[in-house]
Structure 1
Amino acid sequence: MLFLLATFALSRIISSNEKQEVMVVTVATENTDGLRRLRKSAEKFDINIHVLGMGEDWNGGDTRIERGGGQKIRILREWLKQQKPNDDVLILFIDAYDVVFTAGLNTILERFHDHFGDKRILFGAEPYCWPDESLAPDYPVVEFGKRFLNSGLFLGYAKEVYTMVTLRDVADDDDDQMYYTMIYLEKKLRDDLKIGLDSMARIFQNLNGVVDDVELQFDDEGNALAYNAAYNTHPAILHGNGPSKMHLNYLANYVSRSWSSKSGCAICETKANLNMKMLEALARMDYPKKKLVLFIYNSQRSNIKTVMDFLSEYGTLYFSKKIINGVLAIDEREARQEALLKMFTNFWGALSSNGYYARSEDYVAIVQRKRIGVWNAPFVTSAVLINKEKMGEMKTPYFYDKTLDVDMSFCRWARDKGHFMYVDNEHYFGFLIVSDDYADIVHSGKLHPELWEIFENRELWELRYVHPDYHKLLEEGVEVKQACPDVYDYPLVSERFCKEIIEEMEHFGKWSDGSNKDERIAGGYENVPTRDIHMNQIGFERHWLFFMDEYVRPMQEKVFIGYYHKPIESSMMFVVRYRPDEQSSLRPHHDASTFRYTRYNCTVAADQVGYAMMFPGRLTHQHEGLPTTKGTRYILVSFINP
């Protein structure tokens, strides 16, 4: 018994390693983005594709919305008649514009022989009986999986394939799927040609109707795989038939060795040798250099010397110059700061069923640059680069669908016509400004409406109003100075913020009278009164709470280790004004807060604009405000987590 098993295994290995000739064929009359993507995916697995029909007029109808495609059968038939391949040659036919490979021919052949060894022709399967639903009862029952034929992918021996495509006459505008369906449904022909369906997507995955079943997985080497969760299979060829093309675009961003969980983007630009002659050609341009602004971005360490040598010789001749030697990647903190809190971007990762925004699985990772690469997206707007070769085809894309906004019309035109739209997040180029609510803030009478933009334009707000040294102190290993024991003094807001919040308070003008009676607070009595204006009086309470949670809390967690309270709570946030002729000081007191000095007999000058003092508010840190003897002093007080 042991000897027989060993002999069987040996013959099995020899059989599986025999060279099998495969001719991969597609029909395409135009060199579209989809065809270019198909070819690139094939090249990753050393697959050569015979592209038939290039340059012919397409007479097969618009197969996106109507029957058609018979021209593909006619072209394939003529090619097979001309080529006369041997009977045992395998013909792998694939649609041209919405297909990608995820594995090589060895994998395809192995699965074909292992799972479909009794078949001479194998079609992909789908859940819909198209184009004629009435034929569904005529389909043979399958034990498990999808039971309806799809004509976009099939694999078969040349003899049987040629017989199949020459059985009946077919016009260019006939439907190719109907042609193959009628052959498959005729039991004698199905048995004679030994036609089968890949019902569990072992090789062919038609995506229409099953996009929720097909997801991404990454193998041990980091390579992306398409995974059919319903059948626990990893199909080797993906077909975005019907309305599933956007899901194919999403998967194709990763599969075919396009993106790795270990090494990242595989299709992004690799090392480039910046030749000195290229720069010298730039210097020889017949145009006054004093009218040119020179911008050079260099991403390769090996090119730094070349760039600097060029600058030493020619740099002074230009009106201005900016050189970025972007060799080192930005660190994690900078990358996170660059991501907008609201994830407001100029692209959508997916579309909903009604054609509007939907969040794709990888949207946040792309925006936050946790996944870096070039991504096929269904919608882009605001800042778009267009290949000049496409311009000739763009007759009226903004009028393509007048029921939509102009950008949505443009993108629908691009999707329908097979033009891919890509998002490149390899480098940080800038951010978009949201202006939807800005006019309302202006009309509300705010002196500095930009202060209220922390939610809509987080990044721009931070550039304006957060102290430029704030983030440095959050870095690991950087010490935050203590002015007194447990009194931390650190840069928090910019001088611009201080100036504008003061001006905003003075513009509002309703300062309290400094007495113990205060109707603004619960109970109407203030134990330690000041002349102040509360944040909620100017409509800034929600904004300041958010600011403290995003910028004060991280510093608190760094210095007061072990205390965690998210989100920050506060009911008392106000700006106090001290003047020699008004209220000049504040008596010793405790605050009603958990963290926020006469105890230590410690005096802090507090003379740096935009700096925060953070200390415990109860019991240990009684404190006072020393007299203001000249001018006006303003402080912004927040009782946090009372």
Structure 2
Amino acid sequence: YFCLTEQRYTEVPRYLSAEHHPENILIHVTSFSPSDKLLVFTVATKETDGFHRFMQTAKHFNYTVKVLGKGEEWKGGEVPNSIGGGQKVRLLKEGIESYADQEDLVVMFVECYDVIFAGGPEELLKKFEETSHKVVFAADGLIWPDKRLADKYPVVRSGKQFLNSGGFIGYAPYINRIVQQWNLQDNDDDQLFYTKIYVDPLARERINITLDHKCTIFQTLNGAVDEVLLKFEEGRVRARNSVYDTLPVTIHGNGPTKIHLNYLGNYIPNAWTQETGCSICDLDLLDLSTVTEYPRVKIGVFIEQPTPFLPKFLDRLLTLDYPKEALSIFIHNNEVYHEKHIKKFWEKAKNIIRNIKIVGPEENLSQAEARNMGM
């Protein structure tokens, strides 16, 4: 009897060996789905665009996701610009209790507003099991929120040293053992709570916790944007950590890296591939045939550095399939070299688009000032 679901087998008894009685041998194969032994928790009190992007990538890989806090008022503080987030621990503490006795269930907690999946459950479970630990937290090169705890961290010869609570994975009883220690307020800091457990040598050893030092599972982008490169595979795109040569399963745009996560999310995992082009561009489209008055659309173009193919890009603005009377364009050009291209575009566009504003390099605006002017 071979039991593939548990990745082990029981040998066929000798008296039923194929040599003597082949007609009596039954090999029973049970189909196995990695998602059967994996449950993903996240917290989303509101369904933002970031949440929908996260769920789209989870659906692509067939993750089972349990969303906590739906409709609940957020009382966890003004993260990410300050400490806070304890409400997430409290919700996880409540949500995991019914799974706490399932010793073979692997539980993952991950943020959702600024996270995307880049790999599937089977890869995730394999990488987790290879760590030989009960709980694995994401690792970060930057310490937050208490730098005074830096000396308490174990020394790491290679890899990122500090804990990031935006993603962790472990067996359900062990995750439950951690979060059941929470007795603070919703606006207390979740990362500080997990950090104090990790830097306690006895607690770390008792629960068997480690960090994902080389971003095998979790990739945090804060302080690591330059490490992460796009890797185009057949039919999908991965993020590759070029320092450790790993392919992380989740990408977390923590801190001030949200815009870079947006860039990565334009490709990962299947938003755009060389084989299919854009696979999500036709989702959630507005049927304009049902609209009596077209929404006015302002297009902002910010040319902050020498940019190849700019004339072709500008020409394409004039071929958009949208009523030109409902379009307006704001252009900030910070490059003297492109002034000739902007001038040529203006000559074509001024009789097509009714509202065009162009700000040139002579204004000496920073990119932030230009974007604020555009708004």
Determine if the TM-score, normalized by the shorter chain, exceeds 0.5. Answer: yes
Whether 1:225 aligns to 2:238 is: yes
Distance 1:120 1:167 in 2: 17
Alpha-carbon contact 2:134-2:208 (below 8 Å) kept: yes
Instruction: Find the counterpart in structure 1 of residue 270 from structure 2.
Output: 257
CA offsets, 1:305-351, max 9 Å, x none? xxxxxxxxxxxxxxxxxxxxxxxxxxxxxxxxxxxxxxxx7244xxx
Instruction: Find the counterpart in structure 2 of residue 102 from structure 1.
Output: 118
Q: Which amino acid aligns with 2:40?
A: V
Instruction: Find the counterpart in structure 2 of residue 127 from structure 1.
Output: 141
Alpha-carbon contact 2:118-2:239 (below 8 Å) kept: yes
Instruction: Find the counterpart in structure 1 of residue 359 from structure 2.
Output: none
Distance 1:359 1:159 in 2: 53
Instruction: Find the counterpart in structure 2 of residue 111 from structure 1.
Output: 127
Q: Report the CA distance between 1:426 and its aligned residue.
A: 10
Instruction: Find the counterpart in structure 1 of residue 347 from structure 2.
Output: 461
CA offsets, 1:435-490, max 9 Å, x none? 999xxxxxxxxxxxxxxx954331343689xxxxxxxxxxxxxxxxxxxxxxxxxx
Q: CA RMSD in A?
A: 3.7
Q: Report the CA distance between 1:58 and its aligned residue.
A: 1.0
Check 1:157–1:269 CA distance in 2 against 1; reply closer, same or farther (3 A cut): same
Instruction: Find the counterpart in structure 2 of residue 608 from structure 1.
Output: none
Q: Which amino acid aligns with 2:51?
A: L
Instruction: Find the counterpart in structure 1 of residue 109 from structure 2.
Output: 93
Check 1:74–1:250 CA distance in 2 against 1; reply closer, same or farther (3 A cut): same
Distance 1:192 1:436 in 2: 57
Q: Which amino acid aligns with 2:221?
A: L
Instruction: Find the counterpart in structure 1 of residue 76 from structure 2.
Output: 60
Instruction: Find the counterpart in structure 2 of residue 210 from structure 1.
Output: 224
Alpha-carbon contact 1:26-1:51 (below 8 Å) kept: yes
Distance 2:50 2:101 in 1: 28
TM alignment of 1:17-36, pairs within 5 A: 21-36=37-52
Check 1:57–1:110 CA distance in 2 against 1; reply closer, same or farther (3 A cut): same
Check 1:263–1:61 CA distance in 2 against 1; reply closer, same or farther (3 A cut): same
CA offsets, 1:89-146, max 9 Å, x none? 11110012111001111111121123x0x20000000011110111111100123110
Distance 1:260 1:367 in 2: 25
Distance 1:108 1:19 in 2: 13
Instruction: Find the counterpart in structure 1 of residue 203 from structure 2.
Output: 189
What SS is found at the alignment partner of 1:456? helix
Alpha-carbon contact 2:99-2:172 (below 8 Å) kept: no
What SS is found at the alignment partner of 1:247? helix
Instruction: Find the counterpart in structure 2 of residue 198 from structure 1.
Output: 212
Residue number among 69, 72, 80 corresponding to 2:88 in the alignment: 72
Instruction: Find the counterpart in structure 1 of residue 150 from structure 2.
Output: 136
Distance 1:100 1:106 in 2: 16
Check 1:230–1:463 CA distance in 2 against 1; reply closer, same or farther (3 A cut): same
Instruction: Find the counterpart in structure 1 of residue 167 from structure 2.
Output: 153
Q: Report the CA distance between 1:427 and its aligned residue.
A: 4.3
Distance 1:165 1:366 in 2: 52
Question: Quick one: percent identity of the two aligned structures?
Answer: 36
Q: Report the CA distance between 1:77 and its aligned residue.
A: 0.5
TM alignment of 1:227-626, pairs within 5 A: 227-269=240-282, 346-348=300-302, 368=312, 427=320, 455-461=341-347
Check 1:69–1:261 CA distance in 2 against 1; reply closer, same or farther (3 A cut): same
Instruction: Find the counterpart in structure 1 of residue 23 from structure 2.
Output: none
Distance 2:152 2:219 in 1: 23
Q: Which amino acid aligns with 1:269?
A: D
Q: What runs of 5+ residues in structure 1 fail to find an aligned partner?
A: 1-10, 286-291, 296-344, 349-356, 373-423, 438-452, 465-642
Instruction: Find the counterpart in structure 2 of residue 630 from structure 1.
Output: none
CA offsets, 1:9-36, max 9 Å, x none? xx9x946x96551110001111111111
Instruction: Find the counterpart in structure 1 of residue 67 from structure 2.
Output: 51
Q: TM-score, normalised by structure 2?
A: 0.73
Distance 1:207 1:168 in 2: 27
Bigger RCO (CA 8 Å, 6+ sep): 2
Check 1:255–1:458 CA distance in 2 against 1; reply closer, same or farther (3 A cut): same
Instruction: Find the counterpart in structure 2 of residue 509 from structure 1.
Output: none
Q: Which amino acid aligns with 2:192?
A: M
What SS is found at the alignment partner of 2:342? coil
Distance 2:86 2:300 in 1: 40
Q: TM-score, normalised by structure 1?
A: 0.44
Instruction: Find the counterpart in structure 2 of residue 177 from structure 1.
Output: 191
Q: Report the CA distance between 1:246 and its aligned residue.
A: 1.1
Alpha-carbon contact 1:211-1:247 (below 8 Å) kept: yes
What SS is found at the alignment partner of 1:181? helix
Distance 2:231 2:220 in 1: 18
Alpha-carbon contact 1:434-1:456 (below 8 Å) kept: no
Q: Which amino acid aligns with 1:34?
A: G
Q: Which amino acid aligns with 2:256?
A: P
Alpha-carbon contact 1:366-1:425 (below 8 Å) kept: no
Distance 1:89 1:436 in 2: 53
Distance 1:126 1:425 in 2: 45
Q: Report the CA distance between 1:358 and its aligned residue.
A: 5.0
Q: Report the CA distance between 1:258 and its aligned residue.
A: 0.5
Alpha-carbon contact 2:311-2:341 (below 8 Å) kept: no
Q: Report the CA distance between 1:183 and its aligned residue.
A: 0.3
Check 1:22–1:433 CA distance in 2 against 1; reply closer, same or farther (3 A cut): closer
Q: Report the CA distance between 1:168 and its aligned residue.
A: 4.1
Q: Which amino acid aligns with 2:193?
A: Y
Alpha-carbon contact 1:217-1:227 (below 8 Å) kept: yes
Q: Report the CA distance between 1:39 and its aligned residue.
A: 0.5
Check 1:346–1:94 CA distance in 2 against 1; reply closer, same or farther (3 A cut): same
CA offsets, 1:347-399, max 9 Å, x none? 44xxxxxxxx7569xx7579856xx9xxxxxxxxxxxxxxxxxxxxxxxxxxx
Q: What runs of 5+ residues in structure 2 fail to find an aligned partner?
A: 9-30, 334-338, 351-375
Alpha-carbon contact 2:38-2:108 (below 8 Å) kept: yes
Q: Which amino acid aligns with 1:156?
A: G
